[in-house]
Structure 1
Amino acid sequence: MFPDYNRWSLPLLILVLQGLVFIVLLFLRYFKRRNISDIFLALILLLTCYSQTCYTVGFMSWYDTFRATKINYFLINVGIALAPLIYLYVKSITTSNFKFKRVYWWHFALAITFVVYRLSIYTYDALQPGFSKVQNGVLKLKVDEGYVLEVMGYIQTPFMLLYLAFTFQLFYNYRRKIIQYFSNTYKLELNWILTFLILFSALFVYGTIQDLIGSKYINLGYQERWWLNLSTAIVTLFVGIKGYFTDTTKLNKLDFKFSPKTIGISESSNSVEEKSISDNDIIIIKHLMEKKKAYLNPELNLSDFAKLANMTRGQLSETINSGFNRNFNDFVNGYRVEAFKTMLKENKQQQLSLLGIAQDCGFNSKATFNRVFKKLTNYSPTEYLKTKLN
């Protein structure tokens, strides 16, 4: 009898209900702040929770108790809508001043077409005599299960793979861009987004292998498929928590559309004209770093430095890349590392911790400092202190 709370249904029910809480919170926050990434994440959670709810009520004996339930008309592989949503979610976070364009609706053409198709066959079958007494009508059995589901099985896997590949590419392109614009990137690296992508990719691989085994080798029932549903529910809850409590709006007010050397962004009308790299530009930059110690500003970015140097951002980026043979991040942090070394030679470590010295040199996080120092010196800060100064 429904509801049957058991070891299969109860964990899924608890996780799904918690996921629904974060869906509501994200929608509420969207209406308050109008941050479109909240909508994308809420829809991602909604689709996964919808899929899990269908399985949860199944484990609670709904379909055994109400055998004429028409659930099969509304059980679709959510991946055809989930994959574009994941792509647009990452795009909305990693693109400054992101706006949803009408052309983006084409990402959902396959999902919309499939939903319309399912509603059409449901409407037709519902008009046939005796439909209320059966679970599946004539078109569902003959057309959908006879042909369409098999065709969709061939479409869904490459569709998901394509979108996941595009999304990973989008994310890593973003990672490459921020080192051209920011001197401290730790808070902007969005490491949890990478975790998010890896988790959904793992679920996709798990589901694909399970479907392959179920269609080619062994008939997998509800209980055999339970582990995938449990894993999906756990990932859904994790994504809801991290997505809600992580600030993903850092780039909303910035404009840093650029290639590694030339930054293709519009400048204000009173900006100086773009010009080729010159010795004078290099002298100005060196003066700002060595005499004015601009690197001591932990929030220093390309835009701020360009204003100090009275250059455009494109001009400054080109000068640093070509004149110093470094990206902006390595260029600024190189000065910070040298300042750190100088303070160690002055025995500042007797008065301050290594992190305290690093912060005085312009670093704003321990993680960034340790990673940058290791990259530029091949030593950790502690190893450097013991090896070079003792």
Structure 2
Amino acid sequence: MNDKINVLLIITVISLFISLLFAFFLVTVKTKYKISNYLFAAFLIITAIDISGPLFELVSDGPSNLGMLRNNLAFLQIPAFYLYVLSVCYSDFKLKLKHLIHLLPFVMANMILMPRFYLVDAASKINFILNRQNMIELQFSHILFHLQTVVYLFAVFMLLRKAKKLYLENNAGTNINSYNWLFQFTSVLSVLYLIVLFKNIFKFSDHPYISEWIKIVILVLELFIICWYLYKALNHPDLFRNIDSKLKLVSDMVLEEKNNEPSSVSEKEYNASLAKLKQYMVEEKPFLNPSLTIQDVAVAIEIPVRDLSLLINHKLEQHFYDFVNTYRIEYAMDILKDVTKSKVTILEILYEVGFNSKSSFNTAFKKYTGDTPTSYRKQL
């Protein structure tokens, strides 16, 4: 038992140190993405408080209002993460009064504990905790917590799905990897919360000691997740580049046209716009800009963004992201075929044609040609 307590304390101290250090770094570092940093710092601080249970129990004399409040802070963890993802996805995100609604589960969990815990004496608090398996308030809190977690995680996945689609329809940068990585991060968090669910089930069962062992697994996983995020953030400081929340999905624009009035743009006008677009892409080579957006192209060829988006994403049935990458890959293929440039490395080529990530270049190249850049060059 002592060995288990020692392991728990060691992991807790390490997790707390890394979480709080990372949170301090996020709050103090100079960046234009302050809101995102503050929200993730809040997520880390809440997580640190949540995992501080073993240390808190060492210094506390028994059940207390502060201890219960510390437990219930877990209700703020997933909402903080949701708001963080929202701020990462949308460049115009701002915290507003309406976001206070995310405090509702936390307030509810504390309100129901008022009569039989917060407002009673120490002896009654001890009795409440000793009989926690039969306390309807705690059972309600656990059900509410897990229900909240499922709803928020579902909302995060839906948010990332929409944001990724908007990015593909409006941007040709290689930062699509940020959405893929956030999806992975959310998936790992989902697994963590699933383990927390099992822990709480055993907590109210006839085998509460299993819950304590699962707690160690959760602490190790939380430490791994925090270190993973820290590694990713430090190695890729420019990973996240968000989009405007006012942008609409092409599918929504098409639906609006069907519901309102027939499109005023004829097939002839679409063909003329397409010819103008292709001429611009070939002659001006805007795809060499790694941060090219559909707005940039629309301004250059004097076509409304909405019409250009419908032309590429709907008429051509191709995301703007893939449309631009097609020109990049064709340009890269021309360089690879040029015998006078046989000394130019693959890395130099990918930067020259508008990519800024080797993985993105290899993925796009293989998608278009069926080969990797290296194997394609060898076949020439």
For Structure 1 versus Structure 2, the TM-score category normalised by the shorter chain is 0.7 to 0.9
Name the CA distance, whole Å, in 1 between partners of 2:310 and 2:63: 68
Cross-structure match for 1:246: 237
AA matched with 2:242: L
Unaligned runs of 5+ in 2: 255-263
Name the CA distance, whole Å, in 2 between partners of 1:146 and 1:255: 44
One of 271, 280, 284 as aligned partner of 2:272:
280
TM-score, normalization by structure 2: 0.83
Aligned partners of 1:263 and 1:313 also within 8 Å: no
Distance 1:143 1:370, change over 3 A: closer
Give the secondary structure class of the aligned counterpart of 2:208.
coil
Cross-structure match for 1:376: 368
Unaligned runs of 5+ in 1: 265-273
Cross-structure match for 2:50: 51
Q: How many residues align?
A: 364
Name the CA distance, whole Å, in 1 between partners of 2:225 and 2:232: 10
One of 197, 217, 220 as aligned partner of 2:186:
197
Cross-structure match for 2:82: 87
TM-score, normalization by structure 1: 0.81
Cross-structure match for 1:315: 307
Cross-structure match for 1:14: 14
Aligned partners of 1:45 and 1:240 also within 8 Å: no
1:161-182 C-alpha deviation (Å, 9 max, x unpaired): 1211110111122111111111
Shift, 1:33, TM fit:
5.6
Equivalences for residues 1-390 of structure 1 within 5 A: 6-29=6-29, 35-58=34-57, 61-63=58-60, 66-67=61-62, 72-118=67-113, 121-126=116-121, 131=122, 134=123, 136=125, 146-186=135-175, 189-216=178-205, 218-220=207-209, 222-223=212-213, 225-239=215-229, 242=232, 246-247=237-238, 250-251=241-242, 257-260=247-250, 275=265, 277-387=269-379, 389=380
Aligned CA-pair RMSD? 3.3
Distance 1:229 1:340, change over 3 A: closer
Distance 1:135 1:199, change over 3 A: farther
Cross-structure match for 1:271: none
Name the CA distance, whole Å, in 2 between partners of 1:47 and 1:378: 47
Give the secondary structure class of the aligned counterpart of 1:225.
helix
AA matched with 2:80: L
Distance 1:46 1:135, change over 3 A: farther
Name the CA distance, whole Å, in 1 between partners of 2:161 and 2:134: 40
Name the CA distance, whole Å, in 2 between partners of 1:215 and 1:144: 5
Name the CA distance, whole Å, in 2 between partners of 1:70 and 1:299: 52
Shift, 1:52, TM fit:
1.2
Identity among equivalent positions (%) equals 21
In terms of fraction of residues, the more helix-rich structure is: 2
Cross-structure match for 2:260: none
1:278-315 C-alpha deviation (Å, 9 max, x unpaired): 22211211110122222223322111111111112111
Shift, 1:352, TM fit:
0.7
Aligned partners of 1:182 and 1:300 also within 8 Å: yes
Shift, 1:144, TM fit:
9.5
